């Protein structure tokens, strides 16, 4: 039973980290795309929006990194606490922290989707 739950939590952590790596790469591609799209002078409003999007991309890269690191540390802690203990019981804290990480992961997914949409809209406007 514990092994199954441990395996499930570890699998979720690994899946989240892989998805976060993909998001990191996607954000870098979006940064590049934004730079390539701005090949002419921009109005003051467009310049302001460009700076906002650049800042958001940078912030979200940091958020992806921080969450990926938190998930990695959580996974390591799970493995450490379980190793060598045959009657290990997951505490409410472990489950609650895992749920909190999932909530953060899900919220970040939504934020990145919105940012992607905003960036695509901006690129269409300035063309």
Find out whether 32 and 112 touch, Cβ atoms under 8 Å. Answer: no
- Cα–chain-centroid distance for residue 19? 7
Higher pLDDT, residue 48 or 84: 48
Please state the pTM of the whole predicted model: 0.88
Torsional class of 96: left (φ above 0), alpha (ψ -120 to 50), beta (otherwise): alpha
pLDDT digits (tens, 9 = 90+) for 53-75: 999 999 999 999 999 999 999 99
Domain range summary for the chain, segments of one domain joined by +: 2-31+50-126
Give the mean model confidence (pLDDT) for residues 9-35: 96
């Amino acid at each position: 039973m514990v092994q199954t739950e441990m395996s499930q939590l570890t699998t979720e952590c690994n899946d989240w980290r892989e998805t976060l790596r993909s998001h990191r790469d996607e954000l870098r591609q979006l940064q590049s795309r934004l730079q390539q799209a701005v090949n002419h002078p921009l109005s003051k409003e467009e310049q302001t929006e460009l700076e906002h999007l650049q800042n958001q991309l940078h912030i979200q890269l940091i958020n992806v990194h921080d969450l990926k690191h938190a998930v990695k540390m959580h996974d390591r802690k799970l493995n450490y606490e379980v190793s060598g203990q045959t009657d290990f019981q997951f505490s409410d804290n472990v489950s609650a922290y895992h749920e909190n990480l999932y909530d953060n992961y899900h919220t970040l997914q939504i934020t990145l989707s919105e940012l992607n949409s905003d960036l695509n809209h901006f690129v269409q406007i300035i063309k």
